[in-house]
Chain A
Amino acid sequence: MRWAEPIKKDEWEKIDQVIAKYKGKHGALIPVLKETQDICGYLPKNVQHRIAGGLHLSSSQIYGVVSFYAFFTTVPRGKHIIRVCLGTACYVKGSKQILDNLQRELNVEVGGITRDRKYSLEAVRCLGCCSLAPAIVVDADTHALVDPSEAIRIVRLYE
């Protein structure tokens, strides 16, 4: 399971390329973190240090930004990422229950990863498709008008 392994050599190389691309540019940090997270899936401590060194910033600055934005994660993610919308429209149509059901069925906390590392469960604040409430997104697919008792069946389609 790749996400449990340390960052590989070719991944380090890619990270260094990203740093080199943005070095010296104004406001580079957030794009660098994004592209790095795309490469290795999350932003562990050693990666944050590498970026700090490369961009001539302090590690605390990097950690400050990483911990501030919801988009960044310092823990590994599962093979599939389940995002349950908790926007207002979804909430009044029962998305809380979808989240509760998935937590129970998958035995995982929000923000956590299942023991078999297959799924990450996340709650998001409005995906902007309120007409389809309640909605969940698995990887890149949006599932509309989800019946809370059907949610687990949808998730299990992703092996």
Chain B
Amino acid sequence: MQILKIEDLQGIKERVALVLQKEKYRAKINFHMGTCGIAAGAKKLNALVLKKMDENGIQDIKVIHSGCAGLCSREPMVTIESPGLPPVKYCDLNEEKIGEIFDRHILNGEIVDSYALAIEDGGEAFPFEKVPKLQDIPFFKHQILWALRNRGLIDTEDIDESIAREAYFGLAKVLTSMTPESVIEDVKTSGLRGRGGAGFPTGLKWEEGRRYSSSPKYVICNGDEGDPGAFMDRSLLESDPHAVLEGMIICGYAIDAHQGYVYVRAEYPLAIQRLNMAIEKARNYGLLGENILGSGFDFDIGIYPGAGAFVCGESTALMYSLEGKRGMPRIKPPRSTEAGLWGQPTVLNNVESFANIPAIIRNGGKWFASIGTKGSKGTKVFALAGMVKNVGLVEVPMGTTLRTIVYDIGGGIHDKREFKAVQIGGPSGACLPAPLLDTEVDFDSLDAAGAMMGSGGLVVMDDSTCMVDTARFFTDFSVDESCGKCVPCRVGMKVMLNILNRIVEGKGETEDIERLERLGHHIKESSHCGLGKTAPNPVLSTIRYFREEYEAHIQEKRCPALVCVDLVQFRVDSEKCKMCGLCKKACPTEAITWEKKTPAAINLEKCIRCRSCIQACKFKAIE
């Protein structure tokens, strides 16, 4: 255990930069081990490389484990650095490929260009034509990495690597040369707005937190990322936990708090594990605890795993949960900055908000405000998922259009399908149709489109998705997760769900659309907390933009996307049938009869309406 002084940070940075040269490593293999990489099989590859090193009697290879590199759909990935060669990122790996890369790249010093995705940043000095540079690949070209600046670059278990990328340099600057007031001033200048979705100006929140003199005060980091389809906070905590810790300590200094808590979803065990390790290492270095960096300032952080409740993402509910109670939001005021955890002044920010703080302090608020739109500054991280080619984590300047994100970064829609909608903001957000793809992502323009920024989940849907069913899905979610405290949300959402269930079962009535709209507006206006105020958004937005689908369900008793099984006939259109037999193979109950050169037919008595044949058919011949 070595307690650091401020001047030691620079020394660590220089030492780590030279480690490959000085310690004469032959290569450094960086396995990208986020939850995504591990599920794709990264651990197996890691074990294989260690075995190969053992077999060949090689010890001079540095193996590190970093977080997700962003392009999750191409996992497992590794980045290999070796003297004399540019750093290369390999993707879509399996055991065979990693074995070949080990033999050719590491042992023989040649780049295996057929498996390489790109030459990493820092490879400019090595002219190599066969593999593109990372910044030339469309997925990466449009991104600006501020909050995610360390993604996939640092060993999450080695605090020195973080320090080499200037972790805790912002803290050092704060402790040596800034007053709490000037820290708050800088954050205000930056124009940073809460990245959890609501967009409250972070600087103002801190100012309020400082104003109340009651002691003790608390800092809470909200990592209860409950939106289905969002994984920004998970990835950030897994790949760069120290940035979040540093942001929290700086906040503590600014508002005069000495204790912080990180509330993380229980569904994210890896994030909790890495955060625990990061806290322990930071404590050992004297970056957390008493007398931080010899400055006399004390601050400590504890982790609190959630217990599975979406509503706990709401700040007052989260604090009740931390107190060991049911997580039910309360009426504001008083705001949490006045009376939060245990009734004491508390500043709560989202993971991504805290991760932005160190860079704002290092580079100044003006730097952060230099990109973005009038009302939304800086960058925003989005989790891009669904029916796009490139699935992953993207960070773009505020004001980027949805079209850029879906088509340039996401690579557009999978094979012969058509774009239908992009869902933004999870159960609080909306489904936006193709004509709105030129909407800029910032808090205000999304609000105007009837959506909201939300925490940053972007799920792309194609023509195989039914919008009524999607609305039903989100309403079901909100009914499930409503805390039950206020009537509009508890009862109103249930009634909306009943109507939607009726529609997808083919029992919809003409007046149902109007009923849903009226009820939705009432719930929005009269609910108590953010969950209820936004829960009708998925229904209202799909009615607004996809009204014809509701009408098809209600009037024609037809589901255009063939998702709502009660409205699908399960009949083969013999004109469209190309007699390929794929549906027969897919059918689990042998309900389909087919022989070569005759169209398939479905025996409805055996059919269990599982839709396997619809998914298997490439010619949309089943209706």
Q: When chains A and B are docked, how far (Å) is the Cα of A125 from the Cα of B309?
A: 10
Q: When chains A and B are docked, how far (Å) is the Cα of A69 from the Cα of B474?
A: 19
B426 contacts A88, C-beta separation under 8 Å: yes
B65 interface residue per 8 A CB criterion: no
Q: Which residues of chain B are within 8 angstroms of A20 by Cβ–Cβ distance? A: none
Known: A88-B228, A92-B470. A101 touches B610 (CB 8 A): yes
A70 contacts B586, C-beta separation under 8 Å: no
A128 contacts B267, C-beta separation under 8 Å: yes
A6 interface residue per 8 A CB criterion: no
B309 contacts A70, C-beta separation under 8 Å: yes
Instruction: Tell me which of B196-204, B239-247, B366-374, B457-465 binds A.
Output: B457-465
A27 contacts B39, C-beta separation under 8 Å: no
B612 interface residue per 8 A CB criterion: yes
A94 interface residue per 8 A CB criterion: yes
Q: Which residues of chain B are within 8 angstroms of A91 by Cβ–Cβ distance? A: 228, 470, 473
Q: Which residues of A contact B (CB under 8 A)?
A: 26-30, 33-34, 64-65, 68-72, 86-89, 91-94, 97, 100-101, 104, 124-133, 135, 142-144, 148-149
Question: In the complex, which residue of chain B has the Cβ closest to the Cβ of A70?
Answer: B308
Q: 30 A–B contact pairs at CB < 8 A?
A: A28-B324, A65-B324, A65-B326, A70-B309, A71-B306, A71-B308, A86-B473, A88-B474, A89-B229, A92-B387, A97-B611, A100-B610, A104-B608, A125-B228, A126-B229, A126-B267, A128-B35, A130-B72, A131-B36, A132-B39, A132-B40, A132-B72, A133-B385, A133-B386, A133-B391, A142-B39, A144-B40, A148-B612, A148-B615, A149-B612
Q: Which residues of chain A are within 8 angstroms of B599 by Cβ–Cβ distance? A: none
Q: Which residues of chain A are within 8 angstroms of B474 by Cβ–Cβ distance? A: 88
A92 contacts B386, C-beta separation under 8 Å: yes
Known: A26-B342, A30-B324, A34-B307. A130 touches B267 (CB 8 A): no
Instruction: Give, as a whole number of angstroms, the nearest-CB distance from A110 to chain B.
Output: 11
B228 contacts A86, C-beta separation under 8 Å: yes
Known: A88-B423, A91-B473. A68 touches B461 (CB 8 A): no
Partner of B385, one of A27, A68, A94, A130: A130
A129 contacts B36, C-beta separation under 8 Å: yes
Per the 8 Å Cβ criterion, residues 45-95 of B in contact with A are: 72-73, 75
Q: Which residues of chain B are within 8 angstroms of A70 by Cβ–Cβ distance? A: 307-309
Q: Which residues of chain A are within 8 angstroms of B512 by Cβ–Cβ distance? A: none
Partner of A128, one of B225, B325, B477, B608: B225
Question: In the complex, which residue of chain A has the Cβ closest to the Cβ of B71?
Answer: A131
Partner of B72, one of A65, A87, A125, A131: A131
Q: When chains A and B are docked, how far (Å) is the Cα of A16 from the Cα of B192?
A: 47
B73 contacts A94, C-beta separation under 8 Å: no
B268 contacts A144, C-beta separation under 8 Å: no
Q: When chains A and B are docked, how far (Å) is the Cα of A28 from the Cα of B35?
A: 29
Known: A126-B227, A130-B383, A131-B385. A27 touches B324 (CB 8 A): yes
Partner of A126, one of B228, B321, B386, B615: B228
Q: Which residues of chain A are within 8 angstroms of B227 by Cβ–Cβ distance? A: 126
Question: In the complex, which residue of chain A has the Cβ closest to the Cβ of B40?
Answer: A144
B386 contacts A89, C-beta separation under 8 Å: yes
Partner of A87, one of B228, B325, B470: B228
B392 interface residue per 8 A CB criterion: yes
Q: When chains A and B are docked, how far (Å) is the Cα of A86 from the Cα of B427?
A: 13
Per the 8 Å Cβ criterion, residues 294-316 of B in contact with A are: 305-310
B588 interface residue per 8 A CB criterion: yes
Q: Which residues of chain A are within 8 angstroms of B206 by Cβ–Cβ distance? A: none
Known: A92-B386, A97-B611. A127 touches B75 (CB 8 A): no
B234 interface residue per 8 A CB criterion: yes
Per the 8 Å Cβ criterion, residues 496-522 of B in contact with A are: none
Known: A68-B309, A104-B608, A128-B268. A149 touches B588 (CB 8 A): yes
B323 interface residue per 8 A CB criterion: yes
Q: When chains A and B are docked, how far (Å) is the Cα of A93 from the Cα of B588?
A: 19
B226 interface residue per 8 A CB criterion: yes
Q: Which residues of chain B are within 8 angstroms of A29 by Cβ–Cβ distance? A: 324-325
Q: Which residues of chain B are within 8 angstroms of A128 by Cβ–Cβ distance? A: 35, 225, 230-231, 234, 265, 267-268
Q: When chains A and B are docked, how far (Å) is the Cα of A97 from the Cα of B72?
A: 24
B35 contacts A92, C-beta separation under 8 Å: no
Instruction: Give, as a whole number of angstroms, the nearest-CB distance from B9 to chain A.
Output: 32
Interface size class of B (residues with CB under 8 A): 35 or more
A26 contacts B268, C-beta separation under 8 Å: no
B228 contacts A26, C-beta separation under 8 Å: no
A69 contacts B267, C-beta separation under 8 Å: no
A27 contacts B36, C-beta separation under 8 Å: no
Q: When chains A and B are docked, how far (Å) is the Cα of A104 from the Cα of B610?
A: 11
Question: In the complex, which residue of chain B has the Cβ closest to the Cβ of A67?
Answer: B326
Instruction: Give, as a whole number of angstroms, the nearest-CB distance from B523 to chain A.
Output: 20
Q: When chains A and B are docked, how far (Å) is the Cα of A147 from the Cα of B73?
A: 16
Partner of B610, one of A64, A87, A97: A97
B323 contacts A27, C-beta separation under 8 Å: yes
Most buried by B among A65, A125, A126, A135: A126
A30 contacts B310, C-beta separation under 8 Å: no
Q: When chains A and B are docked, how far (Å) is the Cα of A70 from the Cα of B265?
A: 12
B309 contacts A69, C-beta separation under 8 Å: yes
A69 contacts B470, C-beta separation under 8 Å: no
A88 contacts B309, C-beta separation under 8 Å: no
Q: Which residues of chain B are within 8 angstroms of A65 by Cβ–Cβ distance? A: 324-326
| In the complex, the 9 A-B pairs of residues with the closest C-beta atoms, listed nearest first | A131-B72, A70-B308, A88-B229, A130-B385, A29-B324, A87-B228, A69-B307, A89-B385, A126-B228
Q: When chains A and B are docked, how far (Å) is the Cα of A65 from the Cα of B477?
A: 20
B307 contacts A71, C-beta separation under 8 Å: yes
Known: A71-B308, A104-B608. A94 touches B228 (CB 8 A): no
Q: Which residues of chain B are within 8 angstroms of A69 by Cβ–Cβ distance? A: 307-309, 327
Q: When chains A and B are docked, how far (Å) is the Cα of A158 from the Cα of B324?
A: 35
Q: When chains A and B are docked, how far (Å) is the Cα of A149 from the Cα of B586?
A: 8
B228 contacts A71, C-beta separation under 8 Å: no
Question: In the complex, which residue of chain A has the Cβ closest to the Cβ of B457?
Answer: A88
Per the 8 Å Cβ criterion, residues 260-308 of B in contact with A are: 265-268, 305-308
Q: When chains A and B are docked, how far (Å) is the Cα of A93 from the Cα of B73?
A: 14
Q: When chains A and B are docked, how far (Å) is the Cα of A82 from the Cα of B481?
A: 21
B322 interface residue per 8 A CB criterion: yes
Q: Which residues of chain A are within 8 angstroms of B230 by Cβ–Cβ distance? A: 126, 128, 130
Instruction: Give, as a whole number of angstroms, the nearest-CB distance from B69 to chain A.
Output: 12
Instruction: Give, as a whole number of angstroms, the nearest-CB distance from A122 to chain B.
Output: 11
Question: In the complex, which residue of chain A has the Cβ closest to the Cβ of B383?
Answer: A130
Instruction: Give, as a whole number of angstroms, the nearest-CB distance from B474 to chain A.
Output: 8
Q: Which residues of chain A are within 8 angstroms of B308 by Cβ–Cβ distance? A: 69-71
Instruction: Give, as a whole number of angstroms, the nearest-CB distance from B331 to chain A.
Output: 19
Question: In the complex, which residue of chain A has the Cβ closest to the Cβ of B226?
Answer: A125
Q: When chains A and B are docked, how far (Å) is the Cα of A27 from the Cα of B342?
A: 10
Q: Which residues of chain A are within 8 angstroms of B72 by Cβ–Cβ distance? A: 129-132
Q: Which residues of chain B are within 8 angstroms of A71 by Cβ–Cβ distance? A: 266, 306-308
Q: Which residues of chain A are within 8 angstroms of B40 by Cβ–Cβ distance? A: 132, 144
Q: When chains A and B are docked, how far (Å) is the Cα of A144 from the Cα of B387?
A: 15
Known: A135-B39, A144-B40. A125 touches B477 (CB 8 A): yes
